Amino acid sequence: MAGRKETVTDEEIISLFRNSDDPVLTTAEVADELGFTLTGARKRLYSLEKVGNLSMKKAGNSPVWWIDEENE
């Protein structure tokens, strides 16, 4: 995969959701918490959605994310 070496694992991203008081997070919240750019966070979140770890829906113009418990 091209680009910068990943310094945060998928497990750490999932753990952020599991440990959050709010089960639904925005891309910006994930980016802020993990030190990502919005673009970097969006790419990782879409990747986790593609493999079934997260679910997403649009809230207005912005996606919101949560753990997909059916696929865990």
User: What CATH number does the domain containing 14 carry?
Assistant: 1.10.10.10
Total domains present in the chain = 1
Per DSSP, 8 falls in state S
| Model pLDDT, residue 1 | 44
Q: Is residue 18 part of a domain?
A: yes
| Model pLDDT, residue 7 | 83
Q: Is residue 66 part of a domain?
A: yes
Q: Is residue 5 part of a domain?
A: no
Are 21 and 15 spatial neighbours (Cβ–Cβ below 8 Å)? no
Per-residue pLDDT of the chain (72 residues; tens, 9 = 90+): 455 556 899 999 999 999 999 989 999 999 999 999 999 999 999 999 999 999 999 989 889 999 987 755
Q: Is residue 1 part of a domain?
A: no
Give me the domain span that covers residue 46. 10-71
39: three-class secondary structure by DSSP:
helix
Are 19 and 67 spatial neighbours (Cβ–Cβ below 8 Å)? no
Q: Is residue 4 part of a domain?
A: no
Report the alpha-carbon distance of residue 45 to residue 53 in Å, rounded: 9
For 14: left if phi > 0, alpha if psi spans -120 to 50, otherwise beta; the answer is alpha
